[in-house]
């Protein structure tokens, strides 16, 4: 059970991938596993890592902990939290934009031309040197880029129309259709980023601790944080489970996308490790043990899969993270508050 009831939500995100000990009155947690991985496998890609989120930055932190602990799950060093981008447009430009500066990107927007057009000549030149099977793969890749570009434009146009309507009400607490569209678009962008080897390492934060967001599409219209305090009443617990089921259906979408994307002698899922979970086990009691964690993917033959591993009570999450680093070829004796390694 959490020993710092007032700060369990404020600091748990910073602990999730670091196994660190966030300090009050400053900004200090621990380097996260994604950043150690990026140092090892991300140095020869355009972006060593990319950090994504669905919700906007929150200033509702408190309990003496800085907001940096609350708003990101990625830390480059123990004192350098990485901002998480929640704009698909910004992510798209970061991944595929042909302008290296803000001014260049703005100039491209004024020209109203597609990012796809800016790489067409290079792509055509490359296609001419490839066998037909590879040419078809590149065509599919470019089609995916154009489709995502179209979807982003649709979302932006919709937002612009809403702004111009004087009758637009205040933004609702939860917009489940937008949430699902947002998450799937981010996962599509991640798939393209992996496919193009623009990056090999990514983190995405679907929801923050204390999030008031509601997800009517899940069947539960209550806010996420309120639903997590279920008072051990079965009906409340069942309702909270609906939100968790809805969230993990987003993961299923991503996994399916990876499994259908060719990569070398297999697919992207074969060559990936996808970690999904929560920094809280029982929100009603602010309990962190045991954490609900799913690890998916073949890890290029490194992961056994098809198993349910039950660890002894109070096994640190960092034991799993240390084991994942091992599979990536990052060998070290400890990580965060680890006490050993898991057989994964």
pLDDT tens digits, 293-320: 999 999 999 998 899 999 999 999 999 9
C-alpha distances in angstroms, 192 versus 144, 209, 300? 8, 29, 19
Beta strands in the chain (DSSP E): 50-53, 75-77, 80-81, 202-205, 214-215, 220-223, 262-263, 266-267, 274-277, 293-296
Q: What is the pLDDT of residues 52-90, one digit of tens each?
A: 999 988 876 767 788 899 899 999 999 999 999 998 888
Q: Which of 148 and 115 is assigned the larger pLDDT?
A: 148
Cα(337)–Cα(279) distance, integer angstroms: 15
User: Read out DSSP for 153-164?
Assistant: HHHHHHHHHHHT
Strand, coil or helix: what is 325? helix
Q: Using the 8-state DSSP alphabet, how is residue 167 labeled? A: T
Cα(192)–Cα(144) distance, integer angstroms: 8
Average pLDDT, the chain: 82
Q: Is 115 inside any structural domain?
A: no
Strand, coil or helix: what is 22? coil
Q: Is 144 inside any structural domain?
A: no
State the pLDDT at residue 106: 45
pTM confidence score: 0.79
Q: Is 154 inside any structural domain?
A: no
State the pLDDT at residue 169: 32
Strand, coil or helix: what is 53? strand
The domain of 32 spans 8-91+177-327
Cα(304)–Cα(162) distance, integer angstroms: 49
210 sits in the region (left: phi over 0; alpha: psi -120 to 50; else beta) called left
Q: Using the 8-state DSSP alphabet, how is residue 321 labeled? A: H
Domain total in the chain: 1
Give the containing element (helix H, strand E) for 286: none
Q: Give yes or no for a contact between 335 and 322, defined as CB atoms under 8 angstroms apart.
A: yes
State the pLDDT at residue 82: 97
State the pLDDT at residue 250: 97
Is residue 289's pLDDT more than 50?
Answer: yes
* Lowest mean pLDDT across 67-81, 126-140, 152-166: 152-166
Q: Is 204 inside any structural domain?
A: yes
Of 86-95, 225-234, 324-333, which one has max mean pLDDT? 324-333
Q: Is 293 inside any structural domain?
A: yes
27 Cβ contact list (under 8 Å, min separation 6): 66, 68, 69, 79, 81
Report the DSSP beta bridge partners of residue 77: 80
Q: Using the 8-state DSSP alphabet, how is residue 80 labeled? A: E
Cα(169)–Cα(216) distance, integer angstroms: 18
Q: For 291-302, b where at least 16 C-beta lie within 10 A, e where not — what string?
A: beeebbbbbbee
Is residue 225's pLDDT more than 80?
Answer: no
Is residue 28's pLDDT more than 70?
Answer: yes
Q: Using the 8-state DSSP alphabet, how is residue 170 labeled? A: P
- The pairs formed by 259-267 with CB atoms below 8 angstroms and a separation of 24 or more are 261/191, 261/194, 261/195, 262/137, 263/194, 263/195, 266/298
Q: Is 127 inside any structural domain?
A: no
Q: Is 147 inside any structural domain?
A: no
Tokens of 15: 């602990």
Compute the average pLDDT of residues 322-329. 97
Q: Is 231 inside any structural domain?
A: yes
CB neighbours of residue 83 within 10 Å: 12
Strand pairing class (80-81; 75-77): antiparallel
Q: Give yes or no for a contact between 109 and 97, defined as CB atoms under 8 angstroms apart.
A: no
């Amino acid at each position: 059970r959490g020993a710092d009831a007032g700060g369990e939500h404020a600091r748990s995100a910073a602990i999730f991938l670091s196994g660190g000990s966030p300090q009050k009155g400053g900004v200090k947690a621990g380097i996260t596993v994604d950043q150690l991985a990026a140092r090892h496998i991300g140095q020869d890609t355009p972006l060593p890592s990319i950090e994504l989120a669905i919700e906007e930055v929150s200033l509702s932190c408190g309990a003496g902990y800085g907001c940096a602990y609350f708003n990101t799950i990625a830390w480059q060093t123990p004192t350098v939290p990485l901002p998480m981008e929640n704009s698909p447009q910004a992510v798209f430009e970061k991944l595929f934009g042909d302008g290296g500066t803000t001014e260049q990107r703005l100039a491209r927007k004024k020209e109203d031309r597609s990012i796809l057009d800016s790489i067409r000549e290079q792509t055509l030149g490359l296609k001419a040197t490839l066998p037909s099977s590879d040419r078809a793969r590149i065509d599919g890749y470019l089609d995916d880029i154009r489709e995502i570009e179209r979807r982003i434009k649709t979302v932006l146009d919709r937002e612009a129309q809403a702004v111009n309507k004087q009758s637009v009400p205040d933004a609702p607490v939860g917009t489940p259709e937008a949430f699902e569209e947002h998450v799937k678009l981010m996962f599509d962008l991640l798939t393209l980023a992996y496919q193009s080897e623009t990056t090999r390492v990514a983190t995405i934060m679907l929801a923050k601790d204390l999030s008031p967001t509601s997800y009517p599409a899940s069947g539960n219209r209550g806010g996420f944080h309120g639903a997590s305090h279920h008072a051990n009443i079965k009906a409340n617990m069942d309702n909270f489970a609906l939100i968790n089921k809805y969230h993990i259906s987003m993961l299923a979408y991503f996994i399916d996308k990876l499994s259908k994307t060719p990569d070398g002698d297999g697919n992207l899922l074969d060559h990936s490790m996808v970690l999904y979970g929560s920094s809280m086990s029982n929100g009603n009691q602010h309990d962190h043990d045991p954490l609900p964690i799913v690890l998916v993917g073949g890890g290029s033959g490194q992961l056994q899969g098809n198993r349910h591993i039950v660890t002894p009570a109070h096994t640190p999450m960092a034991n799993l993270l240390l084991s994942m680093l091992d599979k990536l070829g990052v060998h070290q004796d400890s990580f965060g508050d680890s006490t050993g390694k898991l057989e994964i």
